[in-house]
Amino acid sequence: MDHFIYKNGVLHAEDVSLTEIAASVGTPFYVYSTATLERHFAVFDEALEGLDHKIFYAMKANGNLAVLRTLAAMGAGMDVVSGGEYAKARAAGVPGEHIVFSGVGKTEAEMWQVLNGGIRQFNVESEPELRQLSRVASAMGKVAAITLRVNPDVDAKTHAKIATGKSENKFGIPMAKAREAYKEAASLPGIEVVGIDVHIGSQLTDLEPYRQAFTKVAELTEQLRADGHNIHRLDLGGGLGIPYERSNEAPPLPVEYGQVIKETVGHLGCEIEIEPGRLIAGNAGLLVSEVVYLKHGEGRDFLIIDAAMNDLVRPAMYEAHHDIVPVSEPEAGVEPTPLDIVGPVCESGDTFAKQRAMPPLKAGDLVAFRSAGAYGAVMASEYNARPLIPEVLVKGDQFAVVRARPTYEEMISRDTLPSWMES
Ligand code: LLP
């Protein structure tokens, strides 16, 4: 459930009409609903009730400071994957002990940064990373708490570009090598083994791969404990899918996912950590855009809008579906017609939907992309010198720009000329 509904014939974010926001900030823009973010967090938290658990929001999904603040106020920790994300989490007021550091290529500088600033744990992805971390932590006179991310070699049955738990993927340490890696970890200075980490992919719409992966993690926990390691934390990653196509998708509910966790690892007495991103932010955000032209092509009509692949890259990158709805509620009984919905960028890939049934639309009308709160704004670029679009947060009947659209001057001034070109 989200808080984007039609009221008096106009799509609203909570109690604010999208036409009002459009008039104030211009199009295109992203808009997020506080109540939806809070609801998604609460639903996930409740799904894990009965387990000693903590949610580390995967801020790669949506790293806006105001979004981070909203979730941190609910008790969320953060899962970060770069020094930049760590700095942003801290800037949002999240203490180091509520931050876990994931990622396959943590640099020495990033290790130094987060050890210095404070961190709950590193989710280490390889033996070379483990040795590097040991060197950095020892040199600093610190001890780094670690889990090792294991690769359980399960098929997450999701888009190939966002599956991470097969042995051919770059992520984690193969299960077969895990005991050896833990043995090395236990022998290294500056390292304290605290648990196991696993993450098998994103937008999972089937619980079975989770069940398989978590069962393997449970077996490994017992083995490692028998080997003498103090395994007391399990980080189970993120990845639970959301409905993108509301008319025919019903991914598993968080409570069902929670049940799988309880059944597979609940008996181990471990602290459970999870890192959801999309499930918290995805359906808490819309991308709102204005129709520029309706163009009649040969055999098909094109709805040309002012948002493009640089603003929302998911359809171009993953063939992802986003429901697209008119901001003015269509009158009952109006016949939809098929349209290709495209942006203005000079690439055929700048296509959001092909032959999508849409009610009648004309230049100046607004449309909203649903499920755009995760991996939308964060993956945007300024391709075609299109400035990053603003982000707006709504709370009840209030709204605020939480990232402003740069002016052309601001965008241009980030480039600098070398001295030999200056006059
Ligand atoms: N933890 C780790 C280690 C991850 O790599 C990810 C996502 C998450 C947690 C959060 O997964 P989520 O709950 O959001 O599924 N840009 C792609 C998604 C990439 C996901 C990368 N890792 C998209 O737009 O579909």
The predicted-structure confidence for 340-397, as pLDDT tens digits, reads as follows 999 999 999 999 999 999 999 999 999 999 999 999 999 999 999 999 999 999 999 9
- Over residues 318-337, mean pLDDT: 95
- What's the gap between Cα 282 and its chain centre? 7
- Check pLDDT > 90 for residue 312: yes
pTM of the predicted structure, to 2 decimals: 0.97
> Does ligand 1 lie within 6 Å of residue 217's CB atom?
no
In 192-284, which residue ranges form alpha helices assigned H by DSSP? 208-226, 254-265, 278-281
Pairing of strands 121-124, 99-101: parallel
pLDDT band at 85 (very low <50, low <70, confident <90, very high): very high
Contact of 63 with 380, CB cutoff 8 Å: no
Confidence at residue 167, expressed as pLDDT on a 0 to 100 scale: 78
Contact of 293 with 304, CB cutoff 8 Å: yes
In 48-79, which residue ranges form alpha helices assigned H by DSSP? 65-73
CA distance 201 to 165: 6
How does 38-77 read in b/e, with b if 16+ C-beta sit within 10 Å?
Answer: bbbbebbbebbeebebbbbbbbbbbbbbbbbbbbbebebb
CA distance 316 to 306: 16
- Quick count: other Cβ atoms within 10 Å of Cβ 335? 8
The predicted-structure confidence for 192-205, as pLDDT tens digits, reads as follows 999 999 999 999 99
- Check pLDDT > 90 for residue 422: no
Domain boundaries of the chain, sorted by first residue: 4-31+283-413, 34-281
CA distance 387 to 381: 8
Q: How far is CA 195 from CA 110, 286, 290, 302, in A?
A: 21, 37, 49, 53
pLDDT band at 421 (very low <50, low <70, confident <90, very high): very high
- Over residues 125-154, mean pLDDT: 97
Q: Give distance in angstroms: CA of 238 to centre of ligand 1.
A: 7
| Pocket mutation for ligand 1, best pick of 78, 101, 202 (most atoms within 8 Å of C-beta) | 202
The DSSP output letter for 190 is T
Q: Give distance in angstroms: CA of 413 to centre of ligand 1.
A: 33
- Quick count: other Cβ atoms within 10 Å of Cβ 34? 21
The percentage of the chain sitting over the pLDDT mark of 70, rounded to a whole number, equals 100
| Pocket mutation for ligand 1, best pick of 43, 55, 60, 210 (most atoms within 8 Å of C-beta) | 60
Rg (CA), the chain: 23
Residue nearest to atom 16 of ligand 1 (CA): 375
Q: Give distance in angstroms: CA of 34 to centre of ligand 1.
A: 21
- Check pLDDT > 80 for residue 220: yes
- Check pLDDT > 70 for residue 423: no
Write out the two tokens for 49.
């009730």
- Quick count: other Cβ atoms within 10 Å of Cβ 271? 15
Confidence at residue 405, expressed as pLDDT on a 0 to 100 scale: 98
Nearest Cα neighbor of 35 from 280, 229, 367 is: 280
> Does ligand 1 lie within 6 Å of residue 163's CB atom?
no
> Does ligand 1 lie within 6 Å of residue 90's CB atom?
no
Cα end-to-end distance, the chain, whole Å? 58
Return the SS3 of 59. Answer: coil
- Over residues 142-156, mean pLDDT: 95
- Using CB atoms within 10 Å of the CB of residue 179, give its burial: 0 to 12 exposed, 13 to 18 middle, 19+ buried: middle
pLDDT band at 73 (very low <50, low <70, confident <90, very high): very high
**Domain 34-281 - what CATH class?**
alpha beta
The predicted-structure confidence for 15-36, as pLDDT tens digits, reads as follows 999 999 999 999 999 999 999 9
> Does ligand 1 lie within 6 Å of residue 11's CB atom?
no
> Does ligand 1 lie within 6 Å of residue 242's CB atom?
no
Confidence at residue 276, expressed as pLDDT on a 0 to 100 scale: 98
Q: Average pLDDT, whole number, for the chain?
A: 96
The predicted-structure confidence for 99-116, as pLDDT tens digits, reads as follows 999 999 999 999 999 999
Q: Please provide the size of the chain in residues.
A: 423
Which residue is listed with tokens 């704004």?
377
> Does ligand 1 lie within 6 Å of residue 399's CB atom?
no
CATH 3.40.50.450 fits 4-31+283-413, yes or no: no
363 CB-near residues (< 8 Å, 6+ apart): 291, 292, 293, 294
> Does ligand 1 lie within 6 Å of residue 277's CB atom?
yes
- Check pLDDT > 90 for residue 171: no
The predicted-structure confidence for 264-304, as pLDDT tens digits, reads as follows 999 999 999 999 999 999 999 999 999 999 999 899 999 99
Looking at the annotation, which residues are catalytic? 346
Confidence at residue 72, expressed as pLDDT on a 0 to 100 scale: 98
Residue 271 sits at the vertex; the CA angle it makes with 226 and 90, to the nearest 5 degrees, is: 125
Confidence at residue 6, expressed as pLDDT on a 0 to 100 scale: 98
Nearest Cα neighbor of 349 from 315, 326, 373 is: 315
- Check pLDDT > 90 for residue 319: yes
* Least-confidence region, from 154-163, 173-182, 186-195, 357-366: 154-163
- Over residues 49-57, mean pLDDT: 98
- Over residues 242-256, mean pLDDT: 92
Q: Give distance in angstroms: CA of 109 to centre of ligand 1.
A: 24
